[in-house]
Amino acid sequence: MNAAQRTVIENCAIATVDAADTEYPSGHLVLAGNRIESVGPGAAPAGLAGVVRRIDATGHLATPGLVNTHHHFYQWLTRGLATDHNLFDWLVALYPTWARIDEPMVHAAAQGSLATLARGGVTTAIDHHYIYPRGSGDLSGAIIRAARDMGVRFTLARGSMDRGESDGGLPPDFAVETLDGALAGTEETIDRYHDASFDAMTQVAAAPCSPFSISTELLRQGGELARRKGVRMHTHGSETVEEEKWCHELFGMGPTDYFESTGWLGDDVWMAHCVHMNDADIAAFARTGTGVAHCPSSNARLAAGIARVPDMLAAGVPVGLGVDGSASNESGELHTELRNALLINRLGAHREAALTARQALRLGTYGGAQVLGRATQIGSLEAGKLADLVLWRLDTLAHASIADPVAALVLGAAAPVTASFVDGRQIVTDGRLTTVDEDAIARSTRESARRLARLRPSGG
Ligand SMILES: [Zn+2]
């Protein structure tokens, strides 16, 4: 959008999620091009030139767009399977099916995952994609194309696995790449797609999958590659007791010490889950600025446990929210994770203030921007930042009797999204995507899921 063109939004409650948690019971936002020009109480300044649109947002809450920090889009095609399994059993049950994905399937799954996130107020998303079967086509390109077409700000965390069963890993050998192949594929993806600019719509991170599916060399060299290229690093860590035990048996240390020994703690790293962390692990994350993608629903679905988010926040660890792959979180929605994060972190006696509604909103917005290294650009509503924001409708039956709009958004039912803007462009209107055809995506995901199911090995 032209920088001289202004959109004025007025008469809504605003939760800016800035450093002071500034809120306005009734305020305004002015968007100029792809930036927020001003935000404040009451009506917008009079006499603004170039106003092309005025939105009367009475009955709404404006927040920063939600930031999803962990996902595996391809799993959109394998939802509702292995429904009563822990992580390792679930992985072993699903790997043989996952290893049969191809480019059209991955594209359809990315569209389904992104559409579900976006219509629920997500404006920035990542996909941690780590399965690249031989001859499956340009999977990274297909995922990035889906995000660009939808208009969602996006990081492809280019994943990889090189430790198959014959090397003591969990995935079958046919589902993994070689060390050199994984590194070359990651480097090529960075060179081709990573945009380091302030208003980048596409970024790439280096993201070896998890300790039990990658060699120590891939972890070490993958990290070195990321730092040489100036991109962020992402992986899974400390998800389950089984993983912790596995690390002790194989490496003689727990996951966090293993990551530190391979160069994988730092303010350019974020890690999914971090459920099984002792005090020293949390202190190491805080000292190094390592970020966490908290995935409460997935952790519950796989009985992984409850991450110590309140302790992490108290120690100063950057924490964002993630839905995780849709095979372990069938809903694939981030707005409902605000509520789930709050509720799950309160489980247990005397934990009634373990996580507040405002902290939950911060995890889903500014916290996510922090762990993706983009907190100067997105994650809060402040003049000069990118125009990524959501108008949540709170005047219907579901929320109208709740006076506090942030409590309504976090504790109430999933609020309807009247409008969602990314980079100043409206991509959702009245809960429907404006950039793509949702019904066509529903059909193609169904066809792809059926095709993949037919390829599933018998007994798998
Ligand atoms: Zn994951």
pLDDT at position 344 is 97
Is residue 349 very low, low, confident or very high in pLDDT (cuts 50, 70, 90)?
confident
Distance (angstroms) between ligand 1 centre and the Cα of 375 equals 23
CA dihedral sign of residues 303, 304, 309, 311: positive
Distance (angstroms) between ligand 1 centre and the Cα of 55 equals 38
**How far is residue 208's CA from residue 19's CA, in Å, rounded to a whole number?**
33
Residues of the chain with CATH 2.30.40.10: 6-64+382-432
pTM of the model: 0.97
Distance (angstroms) between ligand 1 centre and the Cα of 57 equals 36
Judge whether 109 and 72 are in contact, CB under 8 Å.
Answer: no
- Tokens standing for residue 40: 């404040």
* Burial of residue 343 (number of CB atoms within 10 Å: 0-12, 13-18, 19+): middle
User: Residue 331 CA to chain centroid, in angstroms?
Assistant: 14
For 165-216, what is each residue's pLDDT tens digit?
Answer: 999 888 988 889 999 999 999 999 999 999 999 999 999 999 999 998 999 9
For 316-344, what is each residue's pLDDT tens digit?
Answer: 999 999 999 999 999 999 999 999 999 99
Q: Which letter, b or e, does each residue of 363-382 get, where b requires 16 or more Cβ atoms within 10 Å of its Cβ?
A: bbbbbbbbbbbbbebbbbbb
CA distance readout (Å), 91 to 95, 194, 251, 255, 383: 6, 30, 21, 19, 45
Distance (angstroms) between ligand 1 centre and the Cα of 72 equals 6
Is residue 1 very low, low, confident or very high in pLDDT (cuts 50, 70, 90)?
low
Per DSSP bridges, beta strands 153-160 and 122-129 are: parallel
Superfamily of domain 6-64+382-432 in the CATH hierarchy: Urease, subunit C, domain 1 (2.30.40.10)
Per DSSP bridges, beta strands 51-56 and 6-15 are: parallel
Superfamily of domain 66-371 in the CATH hierarchy: Metal-dependent hydrolases (3.20.20.140)
- Tokens standing for residue 82: 């292995």
For 40-59, what is each residue's pLDDT tens digit?
Answer: 999 999 999 999 999 999 99
Distance (angstroms) between ligand 1 centre and the Cα of 272 equals 6
Residues of the chain with CATH 3.20.20.140: 66-371
Is residue 458 very low, low, confident or very high in pLDDT (cuts 50, 70, 90)?
low
As beta bridge partners, residue 269 has: 233
Judge whether 275 and 243 are in contact, CB under 8 Å.
Answer: no
**For residue 460, is pLDDT > 70?**
no
**For residue 459, is pLDDT > 60?**
no
Give the mean model confidence (pLDDT) for residues 153-163: 97
